[in-house]
Amino acid sequence: MELSSVLPCKGCISWQGLLVTASLLTCWHLPTTVQVIIELVPPDVVEGENVLLLVRNLPENLEAFVWYKGVTNMNLGIVLYSLDTNLRVEGPEYSGRETVYRNGSLHLQDVTQKDTGFYTLRSINRHKEIISTTSIYLHVYSFLWSCGPLSTSAQPTIESVPPIIPEGGSVLLLVHNLPENLRSLFWYKGMIVSNNFEVARHIITMNSSVLGPAHNGGETVYSNGSLLLHNVTWKDTGLYTLRTLSTDMKTELAHVQLQMDTSLSPCCNPLNSSQLMIQPIPQYAAEGESVLLQVHNLPEDLQAFSWYKSMHSALVLKIVEYSRAMNSTTWGSAHSRREAVYTNGSLMLQDVTEEDAGMYTLEILNRDFKIDKADVHLHVNIYISDSKNSTSSAQPTIESVPPRVAEGGSVLLLVHNLPENLQALYWYKGVIAYKNFEVARHLRAMDSSLQGPAHSGREALFRNGSLLLYNVTLKDAGFYTLRTLTTDLKAEVAHVQLQVNTSVSTCSNTPTSTQVTIESVPQYVAEGKSVLFLVHNLPEDLQEFFWYKSVYRTDIFKIAEYNRATNSTIWGLAHSQREMVYSNGSLLIEGITEKDAGLYMLETLNKDYKIEKAFVQLHVNSNLGNSLLQVSSSRISIESVPPSVAEGGSVLLLVHNLPENLQALYWYKGVIAYKNFEVARHLRAMDSSLQGPAHSGREALFRNGSLLLHNVTLKDAGFYTLRTLTTDLKAEVAHVQLQVNTSVSTCSNYPTSTRVTIESVPQYVAEGKSVLLLVHNLPEDLQEFYWYKSVHRTDIFEIAEYSKATNSTLWGLAHSQREIVYTNGSLLIEGITEKDAGLYMLETLNKDYKIEKAYVQLHVNKPVTQPFIRIIDTTVTVQSFVVLTCFSADPGISIHWIFNNQSLLLSNRMTLSPQNCQLSIYPVRMEDAGEYKCEVSNPVSSKTSLPVILVVKNE
């Protein structure tokens, strides 16, 4: 049988006929050794872009080749091409977007997520032999970040808890760093994102989960993204993939490896004993250490193997290739000179860094040209050596809000610095974490709370660990203890003192007035200072008292012991030479350090040998001097999207840099944060939003602080104010101006045309330049006007005061020597800095003493830096594929391409990525040769890259 007999004329055969012929050829002719290479150009492709599956080293004397989707199923054929007759036969997977070329390459246009998967090329020579079968994996991204500034936010990671599980047990795949603007998440069995392998998905907006085809009945997915597996079997082992999708349609992938029972090498299960496996030794490596990726069950008929720093077999990610026949090693592009490869397939990495973490793939080829793959996840811990210090630097702390509460009121015990890998938390009444005193607990994996024996029915526990107490009574006063347990089974304890009404020492009428109490003077002490633990109500019949740096009566924690009969003090093991004890029981500690923070206990013994205990907590603030700097380093800003909106449209007031320890946020209409102007508020602890008096029914407030306005009218134009309140009670204010349709100054047809308005010229100003705040419609009967660097009429913010009668200017406290005031009310500011950004207010006073105010916002931008162009090869051939990528370190930029010093005119062979940062040309022609540059710009500046010369040669 000859292939030509199956291809007599165009369109005269069916795909099934070709399958029969191909299967017969496969039986008659064993494959010979031909190494065909397929390369994705570009390596990363986004939905809507084009990709070329570029074939290299295609054998000579071919009669035909065939492309199909998948690895083994030829029923998923795309296209068959006969080189003798130039005949193309389309298969069932042909979508009309594919183009096949004589060199074997396959071009896909306008790719979608459905195009993700394996593609296989099989070639047949004139002797009717199938001489090569080569596959490649194509992953289509919904968002590509590679040519813009990288996001600094933490990527999702997954932790197996416990790391290794016995058969029949349960394991939690615990997710960290989920994006705040999460829309949905998907779990897959394996490393491939495919519908067939989907275990489950969770949709955030509906708070519902949907099971997938790979669900076996033993998995549970939680709203925090974690996946719980019950009754684990050997079939459950291997890699799991989590895919997240955010509200801005950004997608991220994370992987985790589920390991069962013991190390994988002596696999006792006969079903899996021949499976190729990799074991990292050690499982968790610290930076600077070495790790061995040990291979088990390497086939005896091995021909070659390759290692990749990825889960995809891409040339640019290849570390090494080993040939057993030649006993030779060829290093790839991803070789860092720190790897060593062994003939048993194992790979040694020396001096690992954080960048080495991630997925590694081993691909093997046996004598039957069967390809097998195994994957392993390398974990690199960057702070193992400093674990003690790192833990102490961010210990949980608790704040009582308010610090004192009246009987019948409510109080929030607000928790800070909860560990990221939290597994569970427990609240106790008192200083001892004892079961009978447990108020409530929260289990993070199940996102559920349970009440304890000490729960009074007036406590509410939140997901962030905070505890709210309603209708507080005097019995509620005292210490509360929070115990946290992390996924690595580390426990930490924090305490807080709840003070009801007034200090106990003044409550002489209450039954608790005779109790011993301790007051910290001052309540919060800075490092290096002194603190006095002032004791009240010491018993008159006192015999002895003892001070401990703990809540337990243990000798190693004893600071001092005082005997009244002998008026003597005996120092204990916890004495640091900085303490002083007084006969009234008080304790003075000098030269306070951060290590002194925590609970202290005073134990008294009277003549009847009755023991009484009292506790006090020492709060040490180590960063008081830097608090202002920390706040200013990441100020809140608001962006109007779009910058100007037409009547009837919608606009999003998008918030950037919300503080991590946010407690509440408030939106106001106008520049004053006044209750009557409140649009809405959001309370983070309760995760709830409330509408304010100024809410029109057309506003929607999101958890990230952003405010969406629907059906905008001219009345909505003007300033909006956002006020944030953090858990440490720091408040911050940001403003944004909503512009409806056109600028207010041009709206001469509206009644507001006679109002005073201010125009920033230019609207966006670069650092070091000048800006004119140009005033329109200044009243003719003007007496005076005032400029303020604020929205408040306060002396410290006053820049200048002008009197028309005397034609004189008085400079205020906010004058920086860079301002000039004009008689028409305008203000010129020279030598602009980033600190000048913000709201300015002009206040006018006419002859009737009528006061009018106008506002303007000054936007300050930094000039952009010079971009650069990356290209894999500056010399290409006609009909090939080339990708140019423009890189810039600046956010919020526009990108423009220049060809031979003129704006690039895009042809139908050219494609730009969604951000214009990637230019693809296919097929390349001679006229594409020349000089390419990219220009980046923001509202105040632009920079052009150095040129890249593209040389085009004939084949």
- Using CA atoms, how far apart are residues 946 and 931, in angstroms rounded to an integer? 10
Question: Which ranges in the chain are annotated with CATH 2.60.40.10?
Answer: 3-141, 157-260, 277-382, 395-500, 504-622, 626-740, 744-861, 868-953
What is the rounded average pLDDT of the residues 429-444? 84
- Using CA atoms, how far apart are residues 565 and 4, in angstroms rounded to an integer? 116
DSSP string, 460-515: EE-TTS-EEE-S--GGG-EEEEEEEEETT--EEEEEEEEEESS-GGG-TTSGGGGS
Give the least confident one: 312-326, 491-505, 850-864, 910-924. 491-505
**Cβ density class 68-85: b for 16+ within 10 Å, e for less:** bbeeeebebbbbbbbbee
Query: Which of these, 711, 717, 681, 676, lies nearest to 697 by C-alpha position?
Result: 711
Residue 809: pLDDT band by 50, 70, 90 thresholds?
very high
Please provide the CATH number assigned to the domain covering 626-740: 2.60.40.10
Q: Which fold has domain 157-260?
A: Immunoglobulin-like (2.60.40)
Angle at 489 between CA 156 and CA 201, to 5 degrees: 35
pLDDT digits (tens, 9 = 90+) for 355-401: 888 888 899 988 877 788 888 888 776 543 333 333 334 678 888 87
Residue 844: pLDDT band by 50, 70, 90 thresholds?
very high
Residue 117 Rama label (left phi>0; alpha psi -120 to 50; beta): left
Running DSSP on this structure, what letter comes out for residue 661? T
- 207 Cβ contact partners less than 8 Å away, ≥ 6 residues apart: 223
For the cut 80, the answer to whether the pLDDT of residue 908 exceeds it is: yes
**Are 730 and 718 spatial neighbours (Cβ–Cβ below 8 Å)?**
no
pTM of the model: 0.33
CATH architecture of 868-953: Sandwich (2.60)
Residue 25: pLDDT band by 50, 70, 90 thresholds?
very low
Please provide the CATH number assigned to the domain covering 395-500: 2.60.40.10
Does the domain at residues 504-622 carry the CATH identifier 3.40.710.10?
Answer: no
Helix or strand or coil: residue 583? coil
Query: Where is 297: in which H helix or E strand?
Result: none
- Using CA atoms, how far apart are residues 596 and 529, in angstroms rounded to an integer? 12
Helix or strand or coil: residue 336? coil
Alpha-carbon distances of 657 from 633, 635, 828, 836, 838, rounded to whole Å: 10, 6, 30, 19, 16
Does the domain at residues 3-141 carry the CATH identifier 3.30.70.2190?
Answer: no
- Using CA atoms, how far apart are residues 192 and 241, in angstroms rounded to an integer? 7
Give the least confident one: 274-278, 291-295, 584-588, 666-670. 274-278
**Pairing of β 347-349 and β 339-341:** antiparallel
Give the model's pLDDT for residue 936. Answer: 92
Give the model's pLDDT for residue 931. Answer: 95
Place of tokens 């702390």: 397
For the cut 50, the answer to whether the pLDDT of residue 924 exceeds it is: yes
What is the rounded average pLDDT of the residues 804-824? 91
- Using CA atoms, how far apart are residues 105 and 924, in angstroms rounded to an integer? 14
CATH architecture of 744-861: Sandwich (2.60)
Place of tokens 């999003």: 652
Please provide the CATH number assigned to the domain covering 277-382: 2.60.40.10
Give the model's pLDDT for residue 903. Answer: 93
